[in-house]
Amino acid sequence: MSFASTLGIDVGGTKVESARADADGSVRAAHRHPANADRGAHRVVDDIVRCVRSCLSQASRRAVVAGVGGAGRVDPETGVVRSAPSLDWREAPLRECLEDVLDLPVTVANDARAITHGGWAYGAGRGTDNLVVVSVGTGIGGGIVNDGHVLEGGQGLAGERR
């Protein structure tokens, strides 16, 4: 039986999805909520919080940490979305906003890199040292695992179209 509970959040231009998973990657609760990116970063944060609360209301256990994947260039140290063209975000302090509201430690990453890490750790890429992932949604992105390391790139854009 797993005791750690993680909240995963995918922020896109048209929707927010959240899932609560155990340490082995088993999804225990999930919710999808529409998002209107044209309303600005703070209003989309409201959509994220609504989605998360709906997801967690289905869960039997509280999450202890949250990870957010969002389109665009993300500073993984600060959790600031530097630019996200599909969301029309610039310098959005996503981690800070979510930590304040959710009362959880939050990590923010580029969505394609988050998908790459998940596929490598729990999915079809499990057990391999080299992997390439192509993410197709509102935009196109990608991620690369090389010799057992998810590449970030000089500006956090490894695998991304500029």
Question: Helix, strand, coil % (nearest 5) of the chain?
Answer: 25, 40, 40
* Domain 5-112: CATH superfamily, name plus number: ATPase, nucleotide binding domain (3.30.420.40)
Alpha-carbon distance of 132 to 18, in angstroms, equals 24
Domain boundaries, the chain: 5-112
Q: What is the pTM of this model?
A: 0.85
The tens-digit pLDDT sequence of the chain (162 residues) is 445 789 999 998 788 999 998 887 788 899 999 887 777 777 888 889 999 999 988 877 788 999 999 888 888 889 999 988 777 888 999 999 999 899 999 999 998 899 998 899 888 999 999 999 998 877 788 899 999 998 887 766 676 665
Identify the residue whose tokens are 């981690």.
95
